[in-house]
Structure 1
Amino acid sequence: MNKWLKPKPILAAAAAMIALTGCSSGGNSAKDERQTLRVMYYEEQSFYQQYGMLFSAIYPNVNIEVVSTQSIRPEEGEDYNKLMDDFIEKEQPDIVMLDSERYAKSAADGKLAALDSLIEKDKYDTEGLVPGMLDYLKEKGGGQIYGLSADFSSQALYYNKDLFDKYGIEYPKDKMSYSEMIQLAKRFPTDGEGKDRVYGLKFGYSDSLFDIGTQLGGALSMNYVNGTKQEMTINTTGWKSVFEMALDVINSKALYLQNQQSMDGEKTYEDYLMGDPFLSGKVAMMIDGPYFMTQLKQAQVYLKDEEKEKLISNWDMVTVPVDPANPEYSSMVNFYNIFGINSKAANTETAWTFLKYITGDEFARVSSKSYGYGNFPVRVKYFDNPDNRNFAAFYALKPNPFNMYKDYDKLPEKFNQEFYGAAQAELEKVKAGSATIDDALAQLQTVGQGMIDQGKAAQAEKKEEPATDSQAAESNATEGASQ
């Protein structure tokens, strides 16, 4: 399973602005001497859009070589982690890009340079970083810091104050449970049809019981298959409770179900904007990231004056709901790309200069102008918050170390697709009233385990297949050449 996410581009105008002002910055060895820095990243163009243009404007004497990970494409049965290890060992980038699991493993294996002494020596400003980031990285690093992230992704629970006031319902609070959020949503009226009514909650984009249930389950640190052991774990009391909760909110009619809303009448971008139920004041609560705020700004530009009057204006945010057993953590706060310095780096000083820059004030000030398109910078003081809303909702919770998809790449290649189809079918029977949740989970436990076992057997059989004539000839030729 490919764990790298395609990064968002930052505004080219911001890079141009830095290029115009960068030459006046103070000097150091990274600026004064011609050096080469090898940086591991998804691919070259996106690296320069995201980081390289700005860094090169400030440090023109650093020649950056992007070590692209695009060539890492595991075949069925291949170990993705081994391919990544081999790639890093072969390419030896100075800066490595890691997900949280690889960061922890690389730190434990001595493959990363500890940053604690560099942070202390340079008096690197740690106070301005998003709360919890360094603690998270230190915990993953076994007590030391081996990497930094330039941005983070997060979501919040948005709520429409006017709808809550109209129906005399108290506002949502930080760190509610998912059950509390659902009960709050169910207090809104359900009369009316389609766009002529209000909804208590918009949660995701699917009306599928399986999709809603697994979204809730993931937030509660649950997985329905153990990738490491290759065992199904869906037939449990925990999953039964989760799907009961999901079925309850679907049947309550308090949930805005995206798939049930017709898009036929939407002809223009203006129609699309007004078709958003929270934007147009029809939904009391929704879980979303910063992109909603970008849409709202666009709506205020694109829409006609009479349509602008229908836009939501009195709104705020609280943290997403949490697992009561772990109320300080959320699976919706993530540091996806952690940058560390290779312990074998040819130029540790320049590598550290790069890390300081992309996690520092100047980069955060510029990149914060585009946060609405994706992630937030890790310097929270640069959040654009003119209306004094509760932006702390995005960073008040710590990232949950639980990974619902851990070792999914070890499962048979077609498992995810095939099991998803089977789960959708079984749980649709529950929605229709023709099966119970107990029946569906028992069936999925059996079916899913059968898919895993059959896939493992097929892979083992494939490995034991005798070599074809062409393979044998190739092997003989190789042996002959080595003699």
Structure 2
Amino acid sequence: MRVNFLLLVMLMLILTACSNKEIEESKTIKILYSSYADFKRDYGSVINEQSSNTTIEIIEYKSSLGDGIWDSMKYIPVSGQNWDVKKYIEIVKKENPDILFFPSEIFSELQNENLLNELNMLFTEEDFTTGINENLLATLNEMGGGKIYAFPQAMTAQALFYNKDVFKKYGIPEPTDKMTWQELLLLTQRFAGIPDLKGMYTPYYDYADLLTEMGKADQRRWYDASRNEIHLGTDYWKRLISNEVSAYSSGGIDVNGGVPIDLFISGKIAMILETPYFMRQIQSKNQEVSWGVVTEPVGTENSDISTTITYPILSGISSNTQNYAASSEIWKQLNSKKTAELRSKSSIEKFTISVRQLKSGDDQDVFYLLNPSVSVLTERKSLNAEVKQKTDMIINKGLQDAIIDSGNLDSIIDRMQEELSHALYTEKEK
């Protein structure tokens, strides 16, 4: 009888120990995300909020950091100002989340506050790194000063689509990968004078945007806000302006707009600068047009760099997490190849594509041929929305005038210089 009692006591102790162990291993992982609804939309199909002994808790930052919108290809705050990183950091310090999602523009501040854990060890696992381009890893290391602290949820990208039938009909050489902006503008002018046909359509660029983008490809700005200096009068910017004016005034670039896919399919435009979503649209109509795609145009000195690749949202593991092992497992699941494939199939996002090459040898390869520009990825806006609107109006008006009256280009540039300088000076004096 005594032996049976002792056995019973020992069994109870073992069961109690196992029960306590299970309780100890039960964990809650806090994820800082824009909102609970956004998280369910983006990851509800790939991760359970309650799985085995790990509970997922979503902390929302949208009400404090602000909501984001797409402005052309850029993901920006609705406010038009920079993201309120101070409020975001306050949430992090108050709520102590384990996993952080955040707009890429605030990455530097989070790193400076030592709020992000190093992730390099996770990128040594072959299963996790499948499809991740070496150029992407090099970019993330450069952003982190030699270490990886965050990983993109997706990336924006742009490429040059062209109608092969149009080029064949008029005997014009097709565009190629890594053409410079100057070469592309000259190519558009080969179609000048052809009725009901334009060489190129840029749905996300007006006159000012196109000029800015061409300068960005050579790592140039048309202004220095800190010194109130305008550079449009320099030889470099005069040449860019002259090239752009020639392309528009010849009729090589379409300015009237329209539905991009309809213009392209019907052969009314020979080329178009567009996004991954446009490729899906063409493929759904692949019996109607013979088409090709090459990289976006590049700068004269940076032929391997893209200025349109950005990472709208990054994620990382908090440096203050108390459950690194559990946090890293959840983080890897959120950023795995399987998750990327599921998100890619379900996403209807117009501007983004997976940062992983989920397939190789198909048309989507074009979006991975160029390297991201670290300066573009990490820059903060130096002009607020109101000032940018004013300066864009001045540049657009000046270029419109020059297209109509190219003989007075120098005097128009002088006028633009003066008006832009006044706009920046007025803002600086506020």
| TM-score of the superposed pair, with normalisation by structure 2 | 0.80
1:134-213 mapped onto 2 (5 Å cutoff): 134-188=137-191, 190-192=193-195, 197-204=196-203, 208-213=206-211
Is 2:340 aligned against 1:364? yes
CA distance in 1, matches of 2:80, 2:343: 39
Provide, for residues 60-105 of structure 1, a one-character-per-residue CA deviation record: whole Å limited to 9, x for no partner. 7432313223323599999944444344333433222344453244
**What 5-or-longer segments of structure 2 have no aligned partner?**
1-20, 67-76
Provide, for residues 100-150 of structure 1, a one-character-per-residue CA deviation record: whole Å limited to 9, x for no partner. 453244335432111113433x55532421341111000111111111123
CA distance in 2, matches of 1:371, 1:286: 23
Provide, for residues 39-69 of structure 1, a one-character-per-residue CA deviation record: whole Å limited to 9, x for no partner. 2233321222112442227947432313223
Contact 1:228–1:406 under 8 Å retained in 2? no
Is 2:427 aligned against 1:455? yes
3-state SS in 1 of match to 2:263? coil
Is 2:272 aligned against 1:280? no
Provide, for residues 401-455 of structure 1, a one-character-per-residue CA deviation record: whole Å limited to 9, x for no partner. 23399443x5466312222233333333222318844333333333333333333
Contact 2:36–2:59 under 8 Å retained in 1? yes
Shift of 1:399: 0.7
The residue aligned with 1:110 is 114
Provide, for residues 384-409 of structure 1, a one-character-per-residue CA deviation record: whole Å limited to 9, x for no partner. xxxx643221111111123399443x
Choose from 297, 302, 309 the match for 1:333: 309
Is 2:71 aligned against 1:95? no
CA distance in 1, matches of 2:341, 2:25: 27
Choose from 399, 410, 414 the match for 1:442: 414
Higher mean displacement: 374-383 or 320-329: 374-383
Contact 1:114–1:144 under 8 Å retained in 2? yes
The number of residue pairs the alignment matches comes to 396
CA distance in 1, matches of 2:83, 2:311: 24
Is 2:410 aligned against 1:422? no
Change (3 A) 1:250 1:78: closer
1:326-405 mapped onto 2 (5 Å cutoff): 326-370=302-346, 373-374=349-350, 375-382=352-359, 389-403=362-376
Change (3 A) 1:240 1:58: farther
CA distance in 1, matches of 2:369, 2:422: 42
Is 2:63 aligned against 1:40? no
Choose from 52, 66, 79 the match for 2:59: 66
The residue aligned with 1:5 is none
Contact 1:365–1:382 under 8 Å retained in 2? no
* One-letter amino acid of the counterpart of residue 177, structure 1: T
3-state SS in 1 of match to 2:139? helix
Change (3 A) 1:245 1:111: same
CA distance in 1, matches of 2:378, 2:152: 21
Contact 2:161–2:291 under 8 Å retained in 1? yes
3-state SS in 2 of match to 1:40? strand
Identity %: 26
Shift of 1:181: 1.6
CA distance in 2, matches of 1:365, 1:407: 31
Change (3 A) 1:395 1:405: closer
Change (3 A) 1:152 1:64: same
**What 5-or-longer segments of structure 1 have no aligned partner?**
1-28, 262-271, 301-308, 459-483
Choose from 60, 67, 85 the match for 2:89: 85
CA distance in 2, matches of 1:93, 1:288: 37
Shift of 1:372: 5.5
Task: Kindly indicate which of the two structures has a greater share of residues assigned to strand.
Answer: 2
3-state SS in 1 of match to 2:262? coil
Contact 2:198–2:253 under 8 Å retained in 1? yes
3-state SS in 2 of match to 1:186? helix
CA distance in 1, matches of 2:347, 2:242: 36
Contact 1:94–1:347 under 8 Å retained in 2? yes
3-state SS in 2 of match to 1:210? helix
Contact 2:82–2:380 under 8 Å retained in 1? no
Contact 1:38–1:67 under 8 Å retained in 2? no
Contact 2:246–2:403 under 8 Å retained in 1? no
Choose from 259, 279, 285 the match for 1:293: 279
RMSD of aligned residue pairs (Cα, Å): 3.3
3-state SS in 2 of match to 1:443? helix
1:251-330 mapped onto 2 (5 Å cutoff): 251-259=249-257, 276-296=262-282, 311-312=288-289, 314-330=290-306
